[in-house]
Amino acid sequence: MLLSSFLAALLAGQALPEIVEAPVLDRMVERGEILSAGDFTTEPLSPPQARGAMTPDAVSGMEAARRLRAGAIVRANDVIAPRLVRRGEPVTINIRSGGLTITTAGRALADGAMGDLVRVVASSTNRTLDAEVEASGSVRVTAL
């Protein structure tokens, strides 16, 4: 595709389009995988093709929001903050009031990243609670 734009510009007597080195994925990345800087390589692309490309350092530690093919540019809407809690999976519910902490088992009703509010069901009471994601598989409810 890039070669055809070069040939078209040459045949039309126009100046060659500018080329930039852009970061692209060097492997297929499945939805939900965590990206690292090592997943990228650079390729020469035209500026319109490279527009919106995120740097490998900016993407490192983020989760793929969808399946990304090898050779694809990663843009902001292709990644999300890593989900620490996933819908339907068990969670530890920490209920805090002052210096007292009560811990119980539960199940997440939604996905959530660090600091997100998610609904959870306490296994012992079947009560639905709103909780803040505080770690992988762990949520916090602040009692009044």
* Cβ pair 90, 137 in contact under 8 A: yes
pLDDT mean by block of 10 residues, the chain; 144 residues? 53 65 94 93 90 93 95 94 95 90 95 95 94 95 72
pLDDT of residue 1: 47
Q: Give the containing element (helix H, strand E) for 5.
A: helix 2-11
What is the distance between the alpha carbons of residues 74 and 114, in angstroms, rounded to a whole number?
22
Domain extent listing, the chain: 2-80, 83-142
pTM of the model: 0.70
CATH of 83-142, one of 2.30.30.760, 3.10.129.10, 3.40.605.10, 3.50.50.60: 2.30.30.760
